Amino acid sequence: MLDKDYQTTGIDVNSWALKQAGHNAPNSIMKYMSAEDVGVFPKSRFNAVIAKHVVEHLKNPALVLKKINRILKPDGLLLLVTPNPSNLLRHLKGDSWIGLLDPTHISVKTPTEWKSLVKAAGFDLLKAWSDGFWNAPYLPLIPRPIQKVLFCSPGGIQAILGLSFLPVSLGESTIILAKKSRDIE
């Protein structure tokens, strides 16, 4: 969708994911590379970087955030989405919480920790919100379809309306929008 109006580049370490992204965004440049290697892009190359469910897989996300700062133009935007271990219902899922099921999730951090890392990497926080509770069931005695309606509806309404009103504590993911405020070298 974005590739129709903007020059876009996608990166991933999964060739299948890159192929699918290429089908969905045929005008985009696709590169097989790790997020740790984003520093190879020229300084001030991009207006925006979207890191959707990436940073939790990184050994040193703070360093990658600094590299993202370098490749963003002044006032460039960062949209970061990552699992939220401190969400309100996480305790109901226990070891089956979605953020723990992937063994490559090696940097799962709280929203407060992510906000600090983003600020330390030279960004001003514009907004932090959540995507809602979409990992039903949460309660053992209530049928799954009822829980889907009960827990998933706020996030769905937010998505349909194009709004961001759910507080970070009310969802499976932390979503942060930040603007580059200073260079970090």
> E-assigned strands of the chain?
9-12, 29-32, 46-52, 72-83, 123-130, 173-180
pLDDT recorded at residue 6: 87
pLDDT recorded at residue 109: 98
Whole-angstrom Cα distance, residue 9 to residue 69? 16
pLDDT recorded at residue 90: 95
Whole-angstrom Cα distance, residue 47 to residue 75? 8
Q: For residue 166, give the DSSP letter.
A: S
Whole-angstrom Cα distance, residue 127 to residue 158? 15
- pLDDT digit of tens for each residue in the chain (185 aa)? 688 888 999 999 999 999 999 999 999 999 999 999 999 999 999 999 999 999 999 999 999 999 999 999 999 999 999 999 999 999 999 999 999 999 999 999 999 999 999 999 999 999 999 999 999 999 999 999 999 999 999 999 999 999 999 999 999 999 999 999 999 87
pLDDT recorded at residue 2: 80
pTM: 0.94
Q: At the top level of CATH, which class does the domain 34-180 belong to?
A: alpha beta
Q: Answer yes or no: are the C-beta atoms of 78 and 103 closer than 8 Å.
A: no
Tokens of 171: 């969802």
pLDDT recorded at residue 5: 85
Instruction: List the domain boundaries for the chain.
Output: 34-180
Alpha-helix runs per DSSP H in 94-143: 98-101, 111-120
Tokens of 55: 């940073």
The position carrying tokens 């920790």 is: 113
